[in-house]
Structure 1
Amino acid sequence: MTAPSTAPAPPSRGGRWIQQWDPEDETFWKETGEKVARRNLFFSVLSEHIGFSIWTMWSVLVLFMGPEYGLTPADKFLLTSVVTLVGAVVRVPYTFAVAIFGGRNWTIVSAALLLVPTVAAFTVMEPGTSFNTFLLVGLLAGIGGGNFASSMTNINAFFPLRKKGWALGLNAGGGNIGVPVIQLVALAIIGASGGPRVLLGIYIPFIVVAAVLAALFMDNIENVKNDTGAAKDSARDAHTWIMSFLYIGTFGSFIGYSFAFGQVLTNQFGRTPLEAAYVTFIGPLLGSLIRPLGGWLADKYGGAKITLYNYVGMGVATSVLIAASMEKSLALFTVAFVVLFVLTGLGNGSTFKMIPGIFQAKALAKGLEGEAAAAYGRRLSGASMGLIGAVGALGGVGINLAFRQSFLSYGSGTGAFVAFLAFYAACFVVTWAVYLRRSAARTQATTTTSEAKPELSYAKV
């Protein structure tokens, strides 16, 4: 076995494996770690970006599917719900995959797998194809949603705690931006009177390039491998499920609205597919671009505080959407929806920054110090991110099903927005009660129980 060193081990025949990795060591970080971490971050973003595009391609494909396809609005919402559901479920095994195969190795595999749903959709995308066939192919597209979980788990291990908010925000934001990019490409194709197969054909070579670049330039970290027990430990921790609930409100909203925005505009406001495509990309684009800012603000002011205030903003924006929906004001509805997208992006960044902060705080409260505390935090936060990402993505399923039921019952999305408003209010209460209101009381209880242990407070996470 290679002796420990302060620099990454050179690539071996079996793959690029880093034997020693300590990003919390400032000397190591400045001399070696930062350059390697940034390189892995860049190529991770590329693969995740294409994964998001493939996952959400059905939000675009349904706009191509006119009356000749024989699908009702309810059918289309069901189709996008199924795609979202699979994308959420596969995030759990994708999280395990990093520990089993290594971050670089799994990035190669997960990128290459995107060829399956893309080629399948290319094959069946024509009038006369049965709805059940579209559902089956939509199930395959869900694997694109898994790339996020493995990518975030992998990148979390590369960066020190003080940089995680920015790094994770950039990684996720670069991935999220795959949503508006595929919508923009679709807009250009629809505008040029092209068909859905043109869109799918464009992405096939990009998938191959992403897999090849991951093989050439990414690394595996040895001490992340074979730690599948971390997922079990994180699943037993209550904070994993609390943060999952909060992430439903932020990312679940982002991905759910990304799938549904165009359909709401066409079904409720009578926009044509081209008219809808002109505006549907704006919200996901701004929400993706601002996600790193949410992480940066969380680094500076505390993720819990930013998340709390963000839910207030989401509640206000949703209230405006309800009013605009009832008044049938397309302009106000569109502006409010874009603002809500921006807030989901901010919240995505701040909630994910909270995760490593929470487990680092628990490590310090256990009396761990230095690298031991950092290793504990990395281990549990990396594992929990996959579970939180999976549950959060289920919020996108709920949003599409809520819209489906709202249109079936009321002919508009107003009823769904009322339900979303109530959920954001619950997220506000949970954030305040768990991470802000009781932090001082918990700190006092911890110090009186065991003076030897450091204070436990989540106010700064």
Structure 2
Amino acid sequence: MTAPSTAPASPPPVKKGSHWIEEWDPENEAFWNEKGEKIARRNLLFSVLSEHIGFSIWTLWSVLVLFMGPEYGLTPADKFLLTSMVTLVGAVVRVPYTFAVAIFGGRNWTIISAGLLLIPTTAAFTVMEPGTSFGTFLLVGLLAGIGGGNFASSMTNINAFFPLRKKGWALGLNAGGGNIGVPVLQLIGLAVIGASGGPRVLLGIYIPLILVAATLAALYMDNLASVKNDTGAAVDAAKDGHTWIMSFLYVGTFGSFIGYSFAFGQVLTNQFGRTPLQAAYLTFIGPLLGSLIRPVGGWLADRYGGARITLYNYVGMAAATAVLVFASMRKSLPLFVCVFVVLFVLSGLGNGSTYKMIPGIFQAKAVAQGLTGEDAAAHGRRLSGASMGLIGAVGALGGVGINLAFRQSFLSYGSGTGAFVAFLAFYAACFAVTWAVYLRRPAGRTTAGSAASEAKPQLSYAEV
């Protein structure tokens, strides 16, 4: 397996075609102001569009299960298992999608990955009717998981376009625009259900949108020749403890966002007796606000430090989850919905702050190793680009855990209360890890030998 890097050891071979950019130096302010920013923003725009459609297809089954009444013969446990497996595939494919950017080029892979979304969409259109076996639904649902991979390739691509000082904003906007595919899908599903349309109507809406996204990527996006596969970066990123620490923290933020996006409607129908239409009226609100606030999380991280924002965010997520336990036990629908929406908002905010931490951590380590200027920036881009696919994949596995936890909680207790207790404990663990690794003041050092280690103080990570 290989990983992307933006600091080649030697000049890359000249690529043929007008959509290849041979020289790219976003850290150079003159280059950035003259032409770099305009190009980067254009690529960001169409990357967001493609990723947005990918997220919609990935979370398609969170809405389709609402259409699947008793005539489909599926139990609540079957539906939670189905959405869990869709989430699992979306998490796994993020790893190869990350490296595809360097193999094919960011623009080229955006076209390919958008086109691949036609497979799960047309397959679901074909089988979506009563009488289809659960095994068939499961297989077709697994295909929808490829939509989750678009996030990883898009984030890796956009990470290479922007300078470190703007990565929090750019990555937050890119991810937030993709995440918003979840509530948009749910809103369209609400309209279709409200108009008494069937699931095939919903699927038919997305097929032409996929073609539009692929076409616009072909016309307006670019490939960076300087982004290449680097086997050493993949190995170095996998060996670095911060890759796995950030993966754990991203489980708490993005894993929550995607897991709750899949599960919210099912919890409302199974625990609170809402009809599919009533559930659809509520499910889109949380993902919508969580998606919109993700760039704010990145902006706050740029300004105050991602570790600090992430730490406070976990306090809020734990508090909201504690209230959800109370609302679930009291069967208070208004309180439950309001606090669940707050939890979505906090997960979106944390998505932005945690992802901003990744490039900052690796650049801080480069500076601590004595690198400066472009050398430090190149080292940071190299390892952060390689780690993003792993972190994104592991983070998305949190969505699998959430749906499986809900499945077990409903099987054991008939409600989601047990799952929320488990989530509360996990957020407390995320808080502890964030504080201990990135914000805790190191113990005082008095020996001469320890003075050298001050070149890379733990406290510096508070600024990432």
TM-score range, shorter chain: over 0.9
Q: 1:170 aligns with which of 169, 173, 177?
A: 173
Shift of the alpha carbon at 1:443?
13
1:147 alignment partner AA: N
The answer (yes or no) to whether the contact 2:99–2:229 under 8 Å persists in 1 is no
Give distance in 1, aligned partners of 2:446 and 2:285. 43
Q: Does 1:146 align with 2:146?
A: no
2:247 corresponding residue in structure 1:
244
Partner of 1:233: 236
Does 1 or 2 have the higher relative contact order (CA < 8 Å, sep 6+)?
2
The equivalent residue for 1:4 is none
Between 224-233 and 386-395, the greater mean CA deviation after superposition: 224-233
Seen in structure 2, the aligned counterparts of structure 1 residues 428 and 444 have a Cα distance that, compared at 3 Å, is: farther
Higher deviation after alignment, 277-286 or 438-447 = 438-447
- Partner SS for 1:75: helix
Which runs of at least 4 in structure 1 moved beyond 6 Å after TM superposition? 442-447
- Offset at 1:172? 0.1
1:256 maps to 2:259 = yes
Counterparts of 1:243-322 in structure 2, within 5 Å, are 243-322=246-325
Secondary structure in 2 matching 1:412: coil
Query: How do 1:108-257 and structure 2 match up within 5 A?
Result: 108-257=111-260
Distance 1:445 1:37 in 2: 47
**Residues 63/446 of structure 1: CA separation in 2 closer, same or farther (3 Å cut):** farther
Query: Which residue of the partner structure matches residue 4 of structure 2?
Result: none
RMSD: 1.8
Match of 1:37 in 2: 40
Choose which of 379, 395, 398 in structure 1 pairs with 2:398: 395
Which stretch shows the higher mean deviation, 374-383 or 38-47? 374-383
Q: Determine the structure 2 residue equivalent to 1:409.
A: 412
Is the alpha carbon distance of 1:41 and 1:357 closer, same or farther for their aligned partners in structure 2, counting shifts above 3 Å? same
Asked if structure 1 preserves the Cα contact closer than 8 Å seen for 2:255 and 2:399, the reply is yes
Whole-Å separation in 2 of the counterparts to 1:243 and 1:191 = 41
From 333, 353, 376, the equivalent of 1:330 is 333
Contact 2:362 2:383 in 1 (8 A): yes
Q: 2:442, 2:220 → 1: CA distance?
A: 43
Q: What is the letter of the counterpart of residue 200 of structure 2?
A: R
Instruction: Please name the residue that 2:19 is paired with.
Output: 16
**Cα separation, partners in 2 of 1:440 and 1:174, compared to 1, 3 Å:** farther
* Contact 1:446 1:455 (8 Å CA) reproduced: no
Q: Which runs of 5+ in 2 are unaligned?
A: 1-11
Query: Counterpart in 1 of 2:59?
Result: 56
The structure-2 alpha-carbon separation of the partners of 1:408 and 1:166, relative to structure 1 and needing over 3 Å to count, comes to same
Q: CA 1:147–1:441 in structure 2 vs 1: closer, same or farther (change >3 Å)?
A: farther
State whether structure 2 residue 435 is matched by structure 1 residue 427.
Answer: no
Matches within 5 A, 1:57-72: 57-72=60-75
Q: What secondary structure sits across from 1:223 in the alignment? A: coil
CA distance in structure 2 between the partners assigned to 1:48 and 1:94 by the alignment: 12
1:386: how far off?
A: 0.9
**Alpha carbons of structure 1 residues 439 and 48: separation in structure 2 relative to 1, 3 Å:** farther
Q: Is the 8 A contact 1:249 1:427 kept in 2?
A: yes
Which range is displaced more, 319-328 or 439-448?
Answer: 439-448
In the superposition, the TM-score normalised over structure 1's length comes to 0.95
SS at structure 2 position matched to 1:290: helix
Give the structure 1 partner of residue 347 of structure 2.
Answer: 344
The Cα shift of 1:232 comes to 2.1
User: Distance in 2 between the 1:424 and 1:436 partners?
Assistant: 17
Identity of matched residues, %: 84
Structure 1 pair 110/447, CA: closer, same or farther in 2 (3 Å)? farther
1:72 and 1:454, CA in 2 relative to 1: closer, same or farther beyond 3 A? closer
Amino acid paired to 1:422: A
Equivalent pair of 1:363/1:376 in contact (CA under 8 Å): yes
Contact persistence 1:356–1:378 (CA under 8 A): yes
**Alignment partner of 1:112: what SS?**
helix
CA distance 1:207–1:395, change in 2 (3 Å): same
Supply the distance in 2 between the matched residues of 1:398 and 1:384 (Cα, whole angstroms).
22
1:28 aligns with 2:31: yes
Q: 8 Å contact 1:252–1:394 — kept in the other structure?
A: yes
Equivalenced residue count is 451
User: In structure 2, what is the equivalent of residue 102 of structure 1?
Assistant: 105
